[in-house]
């Protein structure tokens, strides 16, 4: 599979549902001008990163040795070395649908054994309004305490003339998330297990980190605090009080081709009521998310490690 496949509408709707489509012709002409002259929509070029040499193996080795895709109970999870006290993981993502890139996002994770995890991200997503292609700029922050439980998060999306703009802010006190989404307020209750904040694609970088830290088994289930929840999906109408549960299962290994070598990566299957997907990571570093279904699929991949696109056997 090269780079992407068909566009999956549900994920695009989850990002931009509620964008008005009845716009007066005069306003649209103004919008096109603003969109084409908005400097803040331009992202800095992605600086490529060299893939660590200890990640790769020659192609000849993987051609003669099978890659594990055993059942969960048969997967021997490797013993992981202790994490450093302080470290930073950063990355850049390309988001592809229907053979076209419609989004990009860069993120940074600051990880501390005492202070927890602080994640920031910034990116742009494109969508069509009548005959114009609009870029929305997003910024996002997620803060986890030293037990990897979220304590604060924000998502701010801004489009020209306010089209596509939306803001979500949440604070977690005890086992209750107090959420302000636009002009609406709600409370999300969860149990003692670790909840998972999911917003834009970069927040999936939290999954391999949390999986490594929180379980020595082949699977874990999170209650999701979704920053995209309640943004107008008709099929979710009347279900806002139902918790979203995400099951993450370790599913052996997978291969990513990198020219004359290949990277053997960790494969995870993500299952929830909002769809199923596959996540690839190396240890606790996110690399690829593949979200597929009957309406097509989306791929978000590390464009800093794979600037020429992703190639999965």
Q: What is the pLDDT of residues 204-233, one digit of tens each?
A: 999 999 998 887 778 999 998 888 754 434
Structural domain contains residue 312: no
Give the domain extent around 134.
9-302
Read off the pLDDT of residues 14-59 as tens digits, 9 standing for 90 and up.
Answer: 443 333 332 322 233 333 333 334 434 455 677 888 888 888 877 6
Distance CA 47, CA 33 (A): 30
Structural domain contains residue 309: no
Poorest-pLDDT segment among 72-81, 143-152, 256-265, 269-278: 72-81
Structural domain contains residue 126: yes
Report the domain count for the chain: 1
pTM for this predicted structure: 0.77
Structural domain contains residue 313: no
């Amino acid at each position: 599979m090269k780079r992407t496949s068909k566009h999956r509408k549900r994920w695009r709707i989850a990002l931009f549902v509620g964008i008005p489509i009845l716009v007066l012709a005069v306003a649209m002409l103004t919008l096109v001008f603003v969109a084409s002259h908005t400097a803040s929509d331009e992202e800095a070029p992605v600086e490529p990163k060299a893939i660590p040499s200890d990640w790769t193996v020659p192609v000849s080795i993987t051609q003669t040795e099978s890659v594990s895709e055993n059942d969960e109970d048969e997967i021997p999870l490797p013993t992981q070395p202790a994490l450093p006290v302080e470290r930073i993981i950063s990355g850049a993502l390309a988001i592809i649908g229907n053979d076209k890139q419609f989004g990009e996002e860069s993120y940074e994770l600051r990880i501390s054994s005492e202070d927890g995890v602080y994640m920031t991200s910034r990116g742009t997503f494109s969508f069509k309004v009548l005959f114009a292609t609009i870029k929305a700029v997003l910024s996002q922050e997620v803060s986890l305490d030293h037990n990897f439980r979220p304590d604060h998060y924000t998502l701010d999306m801004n489009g020209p003339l306010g089209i596509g703009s939306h803001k979500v802010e949440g604070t977690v006190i005890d086992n209750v998330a107090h959420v302000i989404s636009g002009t609406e307020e709600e409370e999300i209750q969860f149990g003692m297990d670790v909840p998972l904040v999911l917003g834009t694609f970069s927040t999936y970088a939290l999954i391999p980190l949390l999986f490594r830290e929180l379980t020595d088994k082949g699977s874990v289930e999170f209650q999701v605090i979704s920053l995209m929840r309640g943004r107008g999906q008709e099929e979710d109408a009347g279900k806002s009080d139902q918790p979203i549960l995400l099951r993450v299962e370790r599913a052996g290994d997978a291969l990513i081709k990198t020219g004359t070598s290949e990277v053997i990566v960790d494969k995870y299957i993500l299952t929830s009521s909002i769809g199923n997907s596959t996540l690839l990571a190396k240890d606790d570093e996110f690399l690829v998310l593949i979200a597929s279904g009957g309406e097509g699929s989306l791929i978000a991949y590390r464009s800093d490690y794979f600037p020429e696109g992703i190639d999965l056997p």
